[in-house]
Amino acid sequence: MSLIALILLLAGAGLLLGRLHAWNSHRLRRSRAGLLTSFSRLGSCHNLSFTSQEILADRILGFDGLNKKLLVLEKRAGHYDWFTINMEDVESCTVMSVYHWDKVSERTQKRLDERVSKIALVFCFKKEARPIELPFYTSETNELCELRMLEAKARGWESFLTKLLTHNQTGRA
C-alpha cells in the first residue's frame, strides 16, 4: 500500500511541477510580448528606425543608425523605464565583467565562470562624469549556461559601437 501511495505522490508532484513550468513559460511569453510592444511604440513615438536590436531577459536595446541613438527599454518592478543614449555624446563603450569572491580559499576551487556576477556594456560620456551600465548577464536573472552567449552578444555590441565611435572621431578631425 505504501508503494502505491508513494507512486501516486510522485506522479502528483510531477504533474504539479509540469503545470508550474507551463504557467511560468506562459507568463514569461506575455511579459516579453508586452516589452516588445512597448519598445516598438516608443521607437515610433521618437521617430527611431532600428538597424540593430537585442532582446535580453528584462530589457531591449535598439540602435538607430541614422540618428546614432540607442534606445533602452527596461522592465523594473512591473513597469517600464526607458532612456536613449546619443552616441555623439559617448566617449567609450566597453564590456565590464564583475566577479564575486566568497572566501580566499575558494578562488582556486571553482571555475571563473561560476564567479561572474555581472557582464555589462559600459558607456562613458564626454561631458558626464557618471557612466551608464547596461547589464547583459546578471547571476540573479540569468542561468550560468547563458553566460558565454550573453558575453559574446555584449562583445559584439562593444565592437559595433566602438567602430561607430572611432568613425565619428576621425570624421571630425
**% pLDDT > 90, the chain:** 38
Q: Give the domain range for residue 113.
A: 49-172
Asked, for residue 17, whether it belongs to a domain, the answer is no
Asked, for residue 71, whether it belongs to a domain, the answer is yes
Q: Report the alpha-carbon distance of residue 7 to residue 18 in Å, rounded.
A: 16
Predicted TM-score of the model (pTM):
0.73
Asked, for residue 126, whether it belongs to a domain, the answer is yes
Asked, for residue 95, whether it belongs to a domain, the answer is yes
- Supply the DSSP string of 56-123, one letter for each residue: -SSEEEEEETTTTEEEEEEEETTEEEEEEEEGGGEEEEEEEEEE--S-GGGGGTS-GGGGEEEEEEEE
Asked, for residue 42, whether it belongs to a domain, the answer is no
Asked, for residue 30, whether it belongs to a domain, the answer is no
pLDDT tens readout for residues 73-107: 988 887 888 999 999 999 999 999 988 776 654 55
Asked, for residue 89, whether it belongs to a domain, the answer is yes
Asked, for residue 55, whether it belongs to a domain, the answer is yes
**CATH for 143:** 2.30.29
8 A C-beta contact, residue 80 and residue 59: no
pLDDT tens readout for residues 118-144: 999 999 999 877 999 999 999 888 888
Instruction: Give the total number of structural domains in the chain.
Output: 1
